[in-house]
A and B are shown apart, each in its own frame.
Chain A
Amino acid sequence: MSEAVAIDAKSIVQFCRFAREQGLSVGVQKTLLGLRAAAVLGAPASEDFKSGLRTALCSNQEEWESFDGIFDAFWHEAGSGHAKRQAERRSARATDHNPQSSGSLMSGVIGSEESEPGGSQEIAGASARERLRKADFSTLRQDDLSALEEIALRLLRQMSLRLSRRRRIANLRGRVDLRRTIRSSISRGGEPIDLRYQDRRPRPPRLVILLDISGSMSAYSLFLVRFAYALQKYFQRVDTFLFSTSLVDVTRILHSRRLPAALQALSQIAAGWSGGTKIGGSLAELNRLHGRKLHSGDTLFIILSDGWDTGSPELLAAELAAVKRRVRKLIWLNPLLGLAEYRPLTQGMSAALPHVDVFAAAHNLESLLQLERHL
């Protein structure tokens, strides 16, 4: 194969930079690994060279599958080294890598109605931040979305960190620590008189989230997805489901992709559904097919829905009770609680309430952040 770009250390480093711009997580360590791999493989411009770089620079399936395209784009730009020059120009500018905002992705879900004339134009500034925190998700405008996105992610990550710190501080006595007991027993002639205990190792709990994506709930649910995504770092396992008339397991989507790509995939799924909501039916499906996820250990269950159910309230109550039996805490988030006049009078909602531990709103960023004390 003819190569447009000479293969030397410099071009490999530029390739790594190019790869990073295309979304691969290639840092200094991986770049060095790539250089060493190329050195060992010797033979330039062969399939092995490509395989070697791919092995050194990728870290997961998505990067692996996109690597070929990136490799060809850089090394085989028709005789002009075009991509290489692009990379050179970009490195000269040394810009920060801006995470691609997914603000535009939400617009498909949120209606494009004109916002109230009172909406202010400036995004920066503490008062604007306050406004964004309190703004109901379904009323957000296009430009606000990206700003809110940034704020939300930052705050949610901080929440995640606080939660993990909280766990570490809690000190409970656990099992007897045999090793330390024996050591102290040596001076007691072998009798384990002083018992030493192990600090109980705090195990991060699991989280199961069910998001209603029918009709108006869609906007709120897609925002709560960020919540789920950010909390992945803290919880042992976050299982996320979307539901409307039935249940869809989207956990893998959240695991494996960067947030913008995940949100795009999810909004496509959400767009495909219509018709009434079957909360009871979806819960039944959850219990039947995914019961194992609820069973294991310390599980926290969150459901976001306005409680409008086209199925029978008895089914809803029964299935919710079944879930309640298996989890540590059941949190129901209802965006309508954000409205001052709301009372949970619908059949579905009132059937569900007796089984709910925490009934809270989730209509804006502020209410999401307040969930922290329940987690």
Chain B
Amino acid sequence: MSFPTPSGDGVQSVDAVVAGFETLGYIADRSLATAVYLATKLRKPILVEGHAGLGKTEVAKVLAAFLKTKLIRLQCYEGLDVSSAVYEWNYQKQLLAIKIQERSQQTVEEKERHVFSREFLLERPLLQSILIEDSSPVLLIDEIDRADEAFEAFLLELLSDFQISIPELGTVQARHVPYVVLTSNRSRELGDALKRRCLYQWIEYPSLEKEMRIVRARLPGIEETLAAQVVRYVQSVRQLHLSKTPGTAETLDCAQALTVLGRQQLDAMTAEETLGCISKSVEDTAKIRAAGLEHLLSSTPEA
């Protein structure tokens, strides 16, 4: 089995991705591994979509570790604009510098050039991602569905040219084109232009076997029977129509909680105590209790 060298060109095959990710504790199914492989080979951005808590953000983190390169993360939110995402001038420093220079003999143009130089530039994630010196970083644009259309339009420009123009400094070109991973919770439909440009991967809730493998990978010491109980329990809870269906993150939280509490097995009382790991709202907790914890623990979830 060959392991990859530190650049994307070294990713040998889909198998290498699966194996490499597993070594790093991330269980990726073949479909996701294929998408990641294509993303690195074709240098196309990849859009990972799915419900909360299913490891979308993890994909980028593991990819960065796998490629032995830096991870740069941009967390999107409503109202995210260029100054928070790309760059901003350090105004306080600039004002001070101007004051200091007041008496100096330089011309106005020279002063201006000094004040608008790299020294006074605050690099935000998007700019950082194209300035990395040694190798292509992984640029994670998290929850792009929370940003608005204007930001999407800007992002499109960036993803096509990988250059940013700063009026005072000129155009900055990427030294190494970053690997771009976008995640979305599907809270709104993304723009067509962006979707057309990306490879796509929909992450579904895992099957029983897959979730077991995930728990084993992330919590190596855990007892097999306990892990099986937790996974079965959460899989049953997923069949209820909660407003926030628990993802694998919640399964791992629950399993970890049991380990910390020193429980050997998951019974109704323990489930009641750890309900907060699984349910994130009053209505959901009520629904789970109404379905009966005993029942959920003993039922075998549908395949």
Q: Are A185 and B98 interface neighbours, CB within 8 A? A: yes
For B101, the chain A residues whose CB sits under 8 A away are 190
Q: With A36-B42, A55-B201, A60-B200 as given contacts, are A48 and B34 in contact (CB-CB < 8 Å)?
A: yes
CB of A147 within 8 Å of the partner chain:
no
CB within 8 Å of B: which A175-220 residues: 178-179, 182-183, 185-187, 189-190, 201, 203-204
Known: A58-B200, A60-B200. A41 touches B98 (CB 8 A): no
B38 in complex: contacting residue of A30, A52, A61, A289, CB < 8 Å: A52
Q: Given A33-B199, A58-B202, A64-B202, are A25 and B192 neighbors across the interface (CB < 8 Å)?
A: yes
Write the chain A residue with the least CB distance to B186: A61
Do B200 and A55 have beta carbons less than 8 Å apart?
A: yes
Please indicate the chain A residues that have their CB under 8 angstroms from the CB of B30 in the complex: 47-48, 51
Least CB distance from A12 to B in Å reads 15
Cβ of B159 under 8 Å from chain A: no
Measured between beta carbons, the chain B residues less than 8 angstroms from A328 are none
Complex partner residue of A190 from B98, B192, B195, B199, CB under 8 angstroms: B98
List B contacts of A33 (CB < 8 A): 42, 44, 199
**Binary CB contact string for chain A from 12 to 38 against chain B (1 if under 8 A, 0 otherwise):** 000000000000010101100100110
A37 to B186, CA, bound (A): 25
Please determine whether A51 and B95 come into contact, CB atoms closer than 8 angstroms: no
Taking CB atoms and an 8 Å cut-off, the chain B residues in 55-83 that contact chain A are 79, 81
Is A51 within 8 A of B94, CB to CB?
no
Please pick, from B38, B94, B111, B198, the residue contacting A41 in the complex, using a CB distance under 8 A.
B38
Task: Knowing A33-B44, A186-B108 are in contact, say whether A55-B98 is a contact too (CB < 8 A).
Answer: no
Contact of B189 with A190 in the complex, beta carbons under 8 Å = no
Contact A29 B196 (CB under 8 A): yes
Q: How many residues of A contact B (CB 8 A)?
A: 40
* A76: interface (CB < 8 Å): no
Interface centre among A27, A52, A65, A182 (most CB of B within 10 A): A182
* Residue in A189, A255, A289 with the greatest tally of chain B CB atoms within 10 Å: A189
In the assembled complex, the Cα of A29 lies from the Cα of B197 at a distance in Å of 7
- CB distance A41 to B34 under 8 Å? yes
Which of B42, B89, B189, B197 is within 8 Å of A37, CB to CB? B42
Other-chain residue from A41, A64, A182, A186 in contact with B91 (beta carbon distance below 8 A): A182
If the complex has contacts A51-B34, A182-B91, A189-B102, are A237 and B196 also in contact, measured as CB distance less than 8 A?
no
Contacts of A30 in B (CB 8 A): 196
* B112/A186 in contact, CB under 8 A: yes
Complex CA–CA separation, A47 to B32 (angstroms): 12
- Say if the beta carbon of A56 comes within 8 Å of chain B: yes
Q: Is A54's beta carbon under 8 Å from chain B?
A: yes
Inter-subunit contact A56/B188 (CB<8 Å):
no
- Asked if B115 is at the interface of the complex by the 8 Å CB criterion, the answer is yes
Does B112 contact A183, Cβ atoms closer than 8 Å? yes
B95–chain A nearest beta-carbon distance, Å: 7
Q: Does A236 interact with chain B (Cβ within 8 Å)?
A: yes
Is B241 at the interface (CB under 8 A from chain A)? no
Interface size, B (range): 35 or more
Inter-chain CA distance A66–B111, complex, in Å, is 61
Residues in B with CB closer than 8 Å to A48 are 14, 30, 34
- Once A30-B196, A48-B14 are accepted as A-B contacts, the answer to whether A40 and B42 lie under 8 Å apart by CB is yes
Tell me, yes or no, whether B41 is within 8 Å of chain A by CB: yes
Contact A51 B31 (CB under 8 A): yes
- A204, B283: Cα distance in complex, Å: 32
Q: In whole angstroms, what is the CA distance A186 to B89 when docked?
A: 15
Say how far B232's CB is from chain A's closest CB, in angstroms: 25
> B284 within 8 Å of A by Cβ?
no
Interface bits B21-65 vs A (CB < 8 Å: 1, else 0): 000000000110011011001101011010000000000000000
Q: How far is the CB of B49 from chain A (nearest CB, A)?
A: 7
Give the residues in chain B near A37, CB-CB below 8 Å.
Answer: 38, 42, 199
Does A350 sit at the interface, judged by CB under 8 A? Answer: no
Q: Contacts A47-B30, A52-B38 given: A182-B200 contact, CB under 8 Å?
A: no
> Once the chains are docked, how many angstroms separate the CA of A179 from the CA of B115?
11
A190 x B99 contact (CB < 8 A): yes
- Residues on A with C-beta less than 8 A from B188 are 237, 255
Q: Does B148 contact A (CB under 8 A)?
A: yes
CB atoms of A56 and B108 under 8 A apart: no
> Which of chain B's residues has its CB closest to A189's CB?
B102
Q: How far is it, in angstroms, between the C-alpha of A27 and the C-alpha of B193 when the chains are bound?
A: 11
Distance from A345 Cβ to chain B, minimum over Cβ atoms (Å): 38
Query: Could you jot down 9 A-B contacts, CB within 8 Å?
Result: A47-B30, A56-B199, A59-B198, A60-B186, A64-B200, A64-B202, A183-B112, A190-B101, A203-B148
Please give 20 more A-B residue pairs, beta carbons under 8 A apart, in addition to A48-B14, A183-B112: A29-B196, A29-B197, A33-B44, A51-B35, A52-B35, A55-B31, A55-B199, A58-B202, A59-B195, A60-B49, A60-B186, A60-B195, A178-B91, A186-B111, A190-B95, A190-B101, A190-B102, A201-B81, A204-B148, A232-B189
Which 7 A-B pairs have CB atoms at the shortest separation, nearest pair first? Answer: A190-B98, A59-B195, A51-B34, A64-B202, A55-B35, A51-B31, A29-B196
